[in-house]
Structure 1
Amino acid sequence: MSQLTTHVLDTALGRPAAGVPVVLDALEEGGWVTLATATTDDDGRARAVGPESVPPGRYRFTFDTGAYYRATEQIAFHPEVVVVFEVTDTSHYHVPLLLSPYAYSTYRGS
């Protein structure tokens, strides 16, 4: 399993958000570098988005929520959600995203 995972839930519909494209980038000296891309599965999870291990540093997940909302015929007030976070050690980092048409939230999961 990747050291970095995510789970997207559609809180308005009360179900996992399947089919959300996700990009993982790392901040390097020259700027952001893409490490991996994935799409959430039927359970809203992207289990293998990125390498098995990443060094400490700053990373970001970019969620193409516009594509998800178009596919589910919902309003896309936030067509993209960018979550920047710091990796400080070799533990697993799970970054869930909770969506609704006009808001979103995130946290460090387990």
Structure 2
Amino acid sequence: MVGQTESAPSGLTTHVLDTARGRPAQGVRVELYRVKGDERCRVTEAVTNSDGRTDVPLIERGQLQPGTYELVFHVAPYYAGFEAAPKVPFLDLVTLRFTVSDTSGHYHVPLVMTPWSYSTYRGS
């Protein structure tokens, strides 16, 4: 492939999509933790922009290490002003725990959500 290397250094990015409203979720607080055994160490924190993404990668390319991570999305405050959402939030914090084993590729871990459900996948 032109302009790409076979083993581009990995990084970590995310974005949040609000399928209840049919748009990117702006203003969602996202925390990233590194997990080792029973210990969690916060790596960074960000807030999603108008495109539902963080302004910078959560971990820059070439800095991602193998191991277990958690992304914590603060969804209850985001849906607090949404008329169709329940008055008492069904979802508060959405925590995604995942393992990075191969750092030769980029990790993109999005959250697709409504006030009542969510899904995720590993993108590139």
With the length of structure 2 as denominator, give the TM-score of the two structures: 0.80
Are 1:31 and 2:45 matched, yes or no?
no
Tell whether the 8 Å contact from 1:24 to 1:50 is kept in structure 2 after alignment: no
Say which one has the larger Rg: 2
- Per the alignment, do residues 98 and 13 of structure 1 end up closer, same or farther by CA in structure 2, a change over 3 Å counting? same
Query: 8 Å contact 1:97–1:105 — kept in the other structure?
Result: yes
Q: Residue 19 of structure 2: which of 11, 19, 40 is its match?
A: 11
CA distance in 2, matches of 1:85, 1:14: 26
Gaps of 5+ in 1: none
Q: Which residue of 2 aligns with 1:48?
A: 57
Size of the aligned set, in residue pairs, is 109
Q: CA RMSD in A?
A: 1.7
Give the TM-score of the pair, scaled to structure 1: 0.89
Distance 2:38 2:121 in 1: 28
Identity among equivalent pairs (%): 46
4+ residue runs over 6 A deviation: none
Superposed, which structure 2 residues align to 1:72-83 within 5 Å?
72-73=82-83, 74-75=85-86, 76-83=89-96
* Secondary structure of the corresponding residue to residue 45 of structure 1: coil
Q: Which structure's residues are more often strand, by fraction?
A: 1
